[in-house]
C-alpha cells in the first residue's frame, strides 16, 4: 500500500528551483588554497540563496536574478571573479529591501564592507571594502556592479512595483505560520507564492540592465 504524499507543494517547487540557472563565479583564494582548480568556478544555485536567506520570496529571488544579470553584463565571455567585483547599493542597508538584498548580493559576489575577507598574503583574493551604500536616482531597488580590473560598471534596477501579488491565497499565511492550514490551503498558498517567485526568476522585463558609473 502506498503511503500518501505529504508536503507535495514544497517538494515540487524545490525541483523547480533546482532547475534555475546557477551562477558560476571564480574565487582566487579558493584556487590558491587548492579548494578549486585554477579557473574552476564555484557554482551557486538559487537553492543556495534560499538557504542563506532562510526562505524564498520576491526579495530573495530578485536579489539572485539582479546579481546574475549584473555579473553577466560585466563578464559576458568569462566567469566573474570574487575580489574584483565592487558593488554599490542604491539605498541604505537599514532599508528592509536593500538590507536583505545586499546580504544576498554579498553572499554571491563576496563583496563586503570592513568585516569582509581581507585576502591571503598581500591581500590576494580580498573582498574587504567592496560593498558600498549610496543613493540611486531610481525609485526602485538598484545596484551597480563594477569590475575593479577594467572599471566597467553595470546598473541593474529591479522593478518590484511590476511584480504580481500572490492573490487570494495570501489569506492562508497566518495558518501557514501557526500550523493550522489544511493540506489544500498549503497547496494553494505554495502554488501562488512560488509561482510569483518563479515569475521573478524567469521574467527579465522586471529588470533593467544598463551601463552605469559606480558611486560610493
- DSSP states along 47-108: HHHHHHHTS--HHHHHHHHHHHHHHHHH-TTS--BTTSEEEEESS-TTSHHHHHHHHHHHHH
Is residue 23 pLDDT above 90, yes or no?
A: yes
How many residues belong to the chain? 216
For residue 1, being part of any structural domain is answered with no
pLDDT band, very low/low/confident/very high, at 137 (cuts 50, 70, 90): confident
For residue 103, being part of any structural domain is answered with yes
**How many structural domains does the chain have?**
1
For residue 9, being part of any structural domain is answered with no
For residue 93, being part of any structural domain is answered with yes
Task: Tell which residue, 77, 66, 205, has the closest CA to residue 145.
Answer: 66
Spell out the residues 6+ positions from residue 48 whose beta carbon is closer than 8 angstroms to its own: none
For 176, the enclosing helix (H) or strand (E) is helix 173-178
Q: Are 154 and 145 in contact (CB under 8 A)?
A: yes
Is residue 184 pLDDT above 60, yes or no?
A: yes
Residue 214, pLDDT score = 43
Q: Are 206 and 174 in contact (CB under 8 A)?
A: no
| SS3 per residue for 91-111 | CCCCCHHHHHHHHHHHHHHCC
Residue 211, pLDDT score = 87
Span 59-72, pLDDT tens digits: 999 999 999 999 99
Residue bearing the bigger pLDDT, 59 or 18: 59
For residue 2, being part of any structural domain is answered with no
For residue 3, being part of any structural domain is answered with no
Indicate the average pLDDT of the chain: 90
For residue 13, being part of any structural domain is answered with no
For residue 11, being part of any structural domain is answered with no
Residue 20, pLDDT score = 93
Mean pLDDT calculated for residue range 118-137: 92
Span 98-108, pLDDT tens digits: 999 999 999 99
Residue 3, pLDDT score = 41
Give residue 47's domain range: 18-211
- Whole-prediction pTM value? 0.90
Amino acid at each position: 500500500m502506498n503511503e500518501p504524499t505529504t508536503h507535495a507543494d514544497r517538494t515540487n517547487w524545490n525541483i523547480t528551483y533546482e532547475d534555475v540557472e546557477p551562477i558560476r563565479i571564480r574565487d582566487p583564494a579558493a584556487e590558491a588554497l587548492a579548494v578549486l582548480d585554477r579557473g574552476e568556478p564555484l557554482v551557486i544555485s538559487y537553492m543556495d540563496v534560499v538557504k542563506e536567506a532562510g526562505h524564498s520570496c520576491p526579495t530573495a529571488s530578485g536579489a539572485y536574478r539582479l546579481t546574475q544579470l549584473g555579473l553577466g553584463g560585466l563578464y559576458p565571455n568569462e566567469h566573474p571573479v570574487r575580489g574584483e567585483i565592487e558593488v554599490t547599493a542604491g539605498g541604505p542597508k537599514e532599508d528592509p529591501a536593500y538590507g536583505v538584498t545586499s546580504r544576498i548580493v554579498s553572499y554571491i559576489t563576496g563583496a563586503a564592507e570592513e568585516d569582509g575577507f581581507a585576502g591571503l598574503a598581500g591581500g590576494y583574493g580580498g573582498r574587504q571594502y567592496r560593498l558600498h551604500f549610496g543613493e540611486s536616482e531610481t525609485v526602485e531597488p538598484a545596484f551597480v556592479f563594477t569590475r575593479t580590473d577594467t572599471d566597467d560598471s553595470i546598473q541593474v534596477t529591479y522593478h518590484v512595483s511590476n511584480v504580481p501579488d500572490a492573490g487570494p491565497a495570501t489569506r492562508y499565511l497566518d495558518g501557514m505560520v501557526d500550523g493550522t492550514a489544511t493540506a489544500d490551503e498549503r497547496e494553494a498558498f505554495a502554488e501562488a507564492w512560488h509561482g510569483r517567485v518563479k515569475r521573478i526568476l524567469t521574467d527579465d522585463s522586471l529588470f533593467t540592465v544598463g551601463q552605469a558609473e559606480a558611486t560610493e
